[in-house]
Amino acid sequence: METKLQRDVRFLKAYSLIITLLLAVVAFTTMTRADQKPKFEEIDVERINVVEKDGKVKLVISNKDRFPDPVIKGRAIRYGKAGRPAA
């Protein structure tokens, strides 16, 4: 007859083996997916910012409401109550 301590040890060994195998499977599947670029058939967005490595915005693709203020000679031009000019 097995003692309670021997059953507990056997259970813990099996449990640790199963958890280790599951962890290895998860780690392997996440590493293989990191190399692939995402591919989409269709994306719905309101704004896309293309930025340089230093964070400077180079290009904005957006709808009318989310379009940024224009920048002329490094200064952003803010519009008053009249709003933006017609597009």
Using the predicted structure, report yes or no on whether residue 60 has a pLDDT greater than 90.
Answer: no
- 26 is written with which tokens? 């998860």
Single pTM value for the model: 0.43
Using the predicted structure, report yes or no on whether residue 1 has a pLDDT greater than 90.
Answer: no
Check if the beta carbon of residue 58 is closer than 8 Å to that of residue 52: yes
Confidence of residue 8 (pLDDT cuts 50, 70, 90): very high
Of 54, 46, 85, 52, nearest in space to 69 by CA: 85
Using the predicted structure, report yes or no on whether residue 37 has a pLDDT greater than 90.
Answer: no
